C-alpha cells in the first residue's frame, strides 16, 4: 500500500515516522516542517498525493483540510482513499466527503485521541466515519499508528465521536481541578484525595491517568510545569467545535458551553495559552 502524508506537525510527524518504520512506502509534505527519517520528501501536497492508495491529512483545522483537498483530489488516483485524521468541524468533513465522492474517490474521517504521546508510541485511538469496506482497508494503517480503531458509522461520525469525547474531557478536567482546589482549601491532602477519588465513583481519565496536580498519581504534564501534552488552546478548539455542532443540532449542552467559556477565558485572558489543558488547575489554585 502506497501512502501520502500531508501535515507533519506535532501529531503527523510521529505518525508518518511510525508508518515508515513499519516499511510502508510513504511520501510526506508539510508547508513548514521537514519529513522524518524514512519518509520520501514530496515537493508539494499534489506530489505527495499522486499515485498513492491512501492519502492521510493531519492538519490544523477544517479550512486547511478543505484547501488541501481542493488541491489534491484532482491528482489522486481513481478509487484511492483520503483519510483525514485532523479534528475538524463536521460540515467541513462532509464537504470534503462529497467532493471526494464526486471525484470517484473514497473519504474517511478518523480523528484521533491519545495526543502527541500516543502518536509517538503508536497507541492512538482512531474514531472513523466512512464506508465499512474503506475502514477495513485502512485497518493495517490504524494498527501501526494506533492501538484501537472504532468504525463509528458514515462519513462525519468520526468527528462527532471526537467532539463528544472531548466535551466530556474538558468538563471532567475542570471539575477535577476545582475539586482538588476545594480539597486543598478544606484541608484534605492531595495524595489522599487522589487515593480516594481514583478508586471511587468520581474517577475519570482526568483524575486517574492525567492527574492535574504535581507529584500525585501517574506522571503527567503537571509534573513537567504543565508543558503540553494536550494544549489548552486545542481543548478550546474542540470545545468550540462541540458548541457549533450543538447549535446546529439544537442540542442543549449547558456544561459543555460552560467548559467552553472557562477554557476561552483561561486561554485568552488568564495566561493559559501554550500550557497543557490540565493547567486549568492553576486558575482555581491561585484563588486559595
Q: Does 278 bind ligand NAD (CB under 6 A)?
A: no
Q: Does 90 bind ligand NAD (CB under 6 A)?
A: no
Cα(18)–Cα(38) distance, integer angstroms: 9
State the nearest-atom distance from the C-beta of 11 to ligand NAD, in Å: 3
Number of neighbouring beta carbons within 10 Å of residue 206 = 22
**Which residue, 33 or 77, is less far from ligand NAD as judged by CB?**
33
State the nearest-atom distance from the C-beta of 232 to ligand NAD, in Å: 11
Is 81 within 8 Å of 138 (Cβ atoms)? yes
Cα(172)–Cα(146) distance, integer angstroms: 24
Cα(283)–Cα(122) distance, integer angstroms: 33
Cα(74)–Cα(83) distance, integer angstroms: 16
State the nearest-atom distance from the C-beta of 264 to ligand NAD, in Å: 16
Q: Does 28 bind ligand NAD (CB under 6 A)?
A: no
Count the residues of the shown chain that bind ligand NAD, applying the rule CB under 6 A: 27
Cα(276)–Cα(231) distance, integer angstroms: 4
Catalytic annotation, pick one of 77, 101, 136, 162: 162
Active site residue 162: yes
Among 17, 26, 30, 193, binds ligand NAD (CB under 6 A): 30
Closest to 2 measured CA to CA, from 72, 76, 54, 57 = 54
State the nearest-atom distance from the C-beta of 67 to ligand NAD, in Å: 6
Cβ-count burial 170-205 (b if 16+ within 10 Å, e if not): bbbbbbbbbbbbebbeeeeebeebbeebbeeeeebe
Q: Does 122 bind ligand NAD (CB under 6 A)?
A: no
Q: Which of residues 182-221 bind ligand NAD (CB under 6 A)?
A: none
Q: Does 6 bind ligand NAD (CB under 6 A)?
A: yes
**Which residue, 4 or 193, is less far from ligand NAD as judged by CB?**
4
Q: Which stretch binds ligand NAD (CB under 6 A): 55-63, 187-195, 209-217, 267-275?
A: 55-63
Q: Does 234 bind ligand NAD (CB under 6 A)?
A: yes
Is 2 within 8 Å of 25 (Cβ atoms)? yes
Q: Does 112 bind ligand NAD (CB under 6 A)?
A: yes
Q: Does 175 bind ligand NAD (CB under 6 A)?
A: no
The grid coordinates listed for 241 are: 467545535
Among 31, 34, 70, 196, binds ligand NAD (CB under 6 A): 31
Q: Does 7 bind ligand NAD (CB under 6 A)?
A: yes
**Which residue, 6 or 197, is less far from ligand NAD as judged by CB?**
6
Helices (H), the chain: 12-21, 45-49, 62-72, 90-102, 115-121, 132-145, 157-186, 190-197, 205-208, 232-248, 254-269, 280-285
Among 64, 110, 211, 246, binds ligand NAD (CB under 6 A): 64
Phi then psi for 125, rounded to 5 degrees? -105, 130
Catalytic residues: 162
Contacts with ligand NAD by CB under 6 A lie at: 6-12, 29-33, 45, 58-60, 64, 67-68, 86-87, 112, 115-116, 230, 234, 237
Amino acid at each position: 500500500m502506497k501512502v501520502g502524508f500531508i501535515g507533519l506537525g506535532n501529531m503527523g510527524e510521529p505518525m508518518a515516522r511510525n508508518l515508515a518504520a513499519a516499511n510502508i512506502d510513504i511520501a510526506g509534505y508539510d508547508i513548514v516542517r521537514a519529513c522524518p527519517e524514512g519518509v520520501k520528501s514530496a515537493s508539494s501536497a499534489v506530489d505527495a498525493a499522486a499515485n498513492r492508495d491512501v492519502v492521510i491529512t493531519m492538519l490544523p483545522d477544517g479550512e486547511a483540510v478543505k484547501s488541501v483537498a481542493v488541491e489534491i483530489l484532482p491528482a489522486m488516483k481513481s478509487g484511492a482513499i483520503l483519510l483525514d485524521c485532523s479534528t475538524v468541524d463536521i460540515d467541513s468533513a462532509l464537504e470534503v466527503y462529497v467532493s471526494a465522492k464526486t471525484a470517484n474517490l473514497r473519504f474517511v474521517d478518523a480523528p484521533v485521541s491519545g495526543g502527541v504521546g500516543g502518536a509517538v508510541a503508536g497507541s492512538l485511538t482512531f474514531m472513523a466515519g466512512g464506508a465499512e469496506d474503506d475502514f477495513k482497508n485502512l485497518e493495517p494503517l490504524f494498527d501501526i499508528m494506533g492501538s484501537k480503531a472504532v468504525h463509528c458509522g458514515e462519513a462525519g461520525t468520526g468527528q462527532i465521536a471526537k467532539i463528544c469525547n472531548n466535551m466530556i474531557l474538558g468538563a471532567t478536567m475542570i471539575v477535577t481541578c476545582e475539586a482538588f482546589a476545594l480539597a486543598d482549601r478544606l484541608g484534605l491532602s492531595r495524595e489522599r484525595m487522589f487515593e480516594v477519588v481514583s478508586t471511587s465513583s468520581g474517577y475519570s481519565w482526568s483524575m486517574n491517568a492525567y492527574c492535574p496536580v504535581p507529584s500525585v498519581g501517574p506522571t503527567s504534564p503537571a509534573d513537567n510545569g504543565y508543558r503540553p501534552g494536550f494544549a489548552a488552546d486545542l481543548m478550546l478548539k474542540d470545545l468550540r467545535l462541540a458548541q457549533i455542532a450543538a447549535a446546529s443540532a439544537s442540542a442543549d449542552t449547558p456544561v459543555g458551553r460552560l467548559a467552553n467559556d472557562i477554557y476561552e477565558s483561561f486561554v485568552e485572558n488568564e495566561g493559559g495559552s501554550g500550557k497543557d489543558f490540565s493547567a486549568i488547575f492553576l486558575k482555581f489554585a491561585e484563588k486559595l
